[in-house]
Amino acid sequence: MGSVERERDVVDGLISFFASQHAMRAEVVLARGGLRSRLVPGPRELSPNCGVALRFDYAEREKAVALLAARSVRIDGVHFYQPRTDAWRGRS
Amino acid sequence: MGAIYFDNAATSWPKPPTVSAAMVDCVREAGGNPGRSGHRLSIAAARVVTSAREALAELFNADDPSRIVFAHNATHALNLALHGTLRPGHHVVTTGLEHNSVMRPLRHLETLGVEVTVVPCGPDGMLDMDSARRAFRSNTRLLVATHASNVAGSVLPVSALATIAHEHGALALVDAAQTAGAIPIDVGHAEVDLLAFTGHKSLLGPTGTGGLYVRSGVALTPLIRGGTGSASAHETQPDFLPDAHESGTLNVAGIAGLNAGVRFVRETGLGSIQAHEQALATRFCDGARQIEGVSLYGPSSAADRTGVVSFTIAGTTPSEVGLLLDDSFGIMARTGLHCSPSAHKSIGTFPDGTVRFSFGWFNTAEEIDASLVALREIATWAASNARGTSWTA
C-alpha cells in the first residue's frame, strides 16, 4: 500500500488527547524519549474528544506520562487497551 | 487490490496529475507576488490567479470573475460571509444539517446578539420546507444552508430556499463545500447571493484553497484588512472586489493547482462526474442493504444525494469498523461525527456517529464491490462476537 501503509505492531496501552495536534506532537516526544508508539483512530468509547490516539506499551506508562509532561503535551487519559479488533490482525 | 480511498468528502484523493504539475510549474516559473510588482514574475503569478478566477466564474456561471474572492478554505469563506453580513439584532435562518464551519460562527454570533433559528431536518437528511418558510421574520438578514450534507449526502433545494429568503428580504448564503465540482451550481439561475466553496474536495485542488462568490450589490464587511497591492496610497481598505477581502499574499501555488483541478472538472464534465458518483453510491447502497446488520442513513433516492453515504453496523461501533477497514482491508473511511453534531442529531446517530464512505471521480465499481465484501465480513464478525472489549480507564 506504499505511503498509506500503517505499522502493524500491537501494543496494549492507549493515550487519548483533546486534539489531534497533541497526539502528533506526543508521537515525536515519545520517540525522542525512546518509546515506540503508533497513531490510531481514537476509540470513541474511551475519548470522544479527538479522532487520533496513540497506542503504546502500557508498562511504560509512567515514563510516557513524564516525557509528555516535561514537554507540556496535554493528554486526555491513559488507558489499558486491548480491543477485540486486535484479533483481526493478519487474517486478511 | 491496493488501498481504497473512500474519504473524498474530507479531501479528494488522488488529484489529477495536472494539479501537481501546475503547482510545480507555478513555483518555478511564476514565483512573483501577484498584483504587487510590475515585473515578469509578478505578472506571471497574477496571470495564474486571474486564470483560476475565470475558471471558477465559468464553473458557477458567475458573469464577473472579480466577484470570486479567494480564501483558505470553505470555513474561511463562510466566516467572511457570516461575520460580513450579520450584526446584533439580525436574525439568521439555518438548517439542522450544518457543519460546525457554520454552526460555530453562528453560536458565537448568538452571544453577540444575533438571533439564530435552526430549521429541523428529517432522519433522511431532508429539510422540511414548510418549517423553513415559517422560520423567517421581519429582521431576518440571512439564510445559510448547506447545498449537501457531509453526513447524510442529502442535497438541499438551495434554489427554492434562496427564493424564500428573497421573498422575506434576506440574503441567501450556500455552503457548497460538498458540492462544488460534484453537482452543477448556477449562481445566476439559483439566485444565490453568497456561495462558499473549498478547493480541495470535488474541485480536486490542493488543501489551503477555497473562496466565496459574492453577488454584485451585496456588501460585506471584511474579515481581515491589510495590504492588497492596490490603492496603496490609502491607509483604508479598498471597497472593490476581490481586493476588499484578499489582504495579504495569496496562496498562488495552491490556486495554480486549484485552477488545474477546476479545468479537469470542466473538461470531464460535471454531468459525468455527478452520474459516476451517484452510480457508485447506488451500487454501494444496493449492496449494503443486502447485508444483515448494516443500517444506511440519508435519502433513499439516488437523485437526492451526492456520493456521500453514512452507515452503521449492528454489534460494533463506527470507530471499530473504521479501524478494521483500514487495518485489514486497506479501506480509508471517516468515522464519528464528521464535525457535524447537528446533522447527526437530525438523522438520529448522535453521539456515536456513523461510518462515512464518500466516493469520488477516481473510485471504481470494483472498489465498491470489494468494500461490500469487507462489510459483510465485519457484520458477520460483529454479530457473532459479544459486545465488549477488555479495557479499563
Nearest to B239 by CA among B209, B202, B256, B214: B214
Q: Is the CB of A44 inside 8 Å of chain B's CB atoms?
A: yes
DSSP B66: G
pLDDT digits (tens, 9 = 90+) for B106-161: 999 999 999 999 999 999 999 999 999 999 999 999 999 999 999 999 999 999 99
Q: Which of A77, A84, A88 sits opposite B328 (nearest CB)?
A: A88
Contact B141, B218 (CB under 8 A): no
The whole-angstrom separation of Cα B307 and Cα B302 is 9
Catalytic residue IDs of B: 339
Question: Any chain A CB within 8 A of the CB of B393?
Answer: yes
Please list the ranges in chain B whose pLDDT falls under 70. 1, 386-393
The confidence score (pLDDT) of residue B147 equals 98
Cα separation, B168 vs B93, in Å, equals: 11
H/E stretch holding B24 reads helix B17-29
pLDDT at A10: 60
Cβ atoms A68, A29 nearer than 8 A: yes
**pLDDT 10s digits, A52-69:** 899 999 999 999 999 999
* CA A13 – CA B126 distance, rounded (Å): 42
Q: Which residue has the higher pLDDT, A87 or B362?
A: B362
Q: How far apart are CA B204 and CA B5, in angstroms?
A: 14
Q: Under an 8 A CB cutoff, do B3 and A1 touch?
A: yes
Look at A80 and B330 and tell me if their CB atoms are within 8 Å: no
Pick the CATH number of B4-12+270-384 from 3.90.1150.10, 1.10.8.50, 3.40.50.2000, 3.30.70.3000: 3.90.1150.10
The answer to whether the CB atoms of A4 and B332 lie below 8 A apart is yes
B389 → chain A, closest CA residue: A83
* Ranges in chain B annotated CATH 3.90.1150.10: 4-12+270-384
CATH of A10-82, one of 3.50.50.60, 3.30.70.1940, 3.10.330.20, 3.20.20.70: 3.30.70.1940
Residue A83: predicted pLDDT: 84
d(CA B293, CA B376): 9
Q: Are the beta carbons of A92 and B323 separated by less than 8 Å?
A: no
Phi, psi of B250 (to 5 degrees): -75, 165
Domain-wise residue ranges, chain A: 10-82
Beta bridge partners of B206: none
Question: How far does the CA of residue A20 sit from the closest CA of chain B (Å)?
Answer: 14
Select from B6, B312, B320 the residue whose CB has the most chain A CBs within 10 Å, as the one to mutate to test that interface.
B320
Burial of residue B37 (number of CB atoms within 10 Å: 0-12, 13-18, 19+): middle
> Would you call A4 an interface residue with chain B, using a CB distance cutoff of 8 Å?
yes
- For A11-55, the pLDDT digits (tens) are 899 999 988 889 999 999 999 999 999 988 888 777 766 678 999
The whole-number pLDDT of residue B5 equals: 98
pLDDT reported for residue A89? 59
In chain B, where does the domain assigned CATH 3.40.640.10 lie?
17-268
Residue B384: per-residue pLDDT: 86
Residue A2, pLDDT > 60, answer: no
CA pair distance B262, A32, nearest whole angstrom: 43
Fold observed for domain B17-268: Aspartate Aminotransferase; domain 2 (3.40.640)
